[in-house]
């Protein structure tokens, strides 16, 4: 499914790029915010699964391709992970990522109220992760090297 979506995205870019006007309007900006994330597929046993509050921020550019189509590439840093706990013990996993979303904004109606559909793909490159535990025996923290993580992620 992901291969088909990626192929469709690449084909759409190949058809759109020849129609880009050299006088396209380009708008630059910055963005930041909070994200709430969790991890699935990991069984913490008797730990209560919890969400982790993270930060994201970076820069974006909005490039008008046609009257009805805009490309918005972004460069973001985001903190993802998980926060699990039970009485007296907790685990935290901090996963910092360099995210590169490529978003297409398809304007459907050309009226005062703009109705748009967004589509695109995101590429993520991880930084070394940090795993922390805290309990009655004390606290510990260690870094998970990049070579033990997936070097590239798409979404």
* Mean pLDDT on 128-147: 78
Residue 18, pLDDT score: 47
CB atoms within 10 A of CB 145: 9
Residue 40's pLDDT is 63
34 in Cβ contact with 21 (< 8 Å): no
Amino acid 1: pLDDT: 47
Element (H, E) at 10: helix 2-16
Angle made by CA atoms 93, 95, 96, in degrees to the nearest 5: 145
Structural domain tally of the chain? 1
Q: How far apart are CA 73 and CA 66, in angstroms?
A: 16
pTM: 0.67
* Tokens of residue 16, six digits: 């759109």
Task: State the residue range of the domain holding 121.
Answer: 2-154
pLDDT, tens digit, 9 for 90 and up, residues 76-127 = 999 888 777 777 777 788 888 899 999 998 888 766 667 888 999 998 888 8
Q: What SS3 class is residue 50?
A: coil
Q: By the 8 A CB rule, do 22 and 62 touch?
A: no
d(CA 125, CA 152): 5
* pLDDT number for residue 72: 92
- Token look-up 């510990």 returns 140
For residue 139, pLDDT over 50 is answered with yes
Taken as a whole, the chain contains a residue count of 155
pLDDT tens by residue, 17-72: 444 455 568 889 999 998 887 766 555 555 556 778 888 999 999 998 888 888 99
Query: From CA 148, how far away is CA 86, in angstroms rounded?
Result: 27
């Amino acid at each position: 499914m992901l291969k088909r979506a990626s192929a469709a995205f690449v084909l759409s870019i190949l058809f759109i790029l020849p129609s880009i006007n050299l006088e396209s309007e380009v708008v630059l900006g910055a963005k930041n915010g909070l994200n709430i994330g969790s991890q699935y597929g990991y069984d913490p046993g008797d730990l209560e699964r919890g969400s982790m509050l993270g930060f994201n921020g970076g820069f974006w550019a909005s490039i008008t391709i046609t009257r009805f189509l805009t490309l918005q590439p972004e460069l973001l840093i985001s903190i993802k992970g998980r926060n699990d706990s039970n009485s007296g013990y907790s685990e935290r996993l901090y996963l910092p990522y360099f995210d590169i979303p490529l978003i297409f904004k398809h304007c459907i109606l050309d009226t005062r109220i703009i109705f748009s559909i967004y589509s695109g793909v995101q590429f993520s490159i991880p930084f070394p992760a940090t795993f922390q535990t805290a309990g009655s025996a004390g606290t510990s923290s260690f870094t998970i090297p990049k070579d033990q993580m997936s070097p590239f992620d798409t979404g």
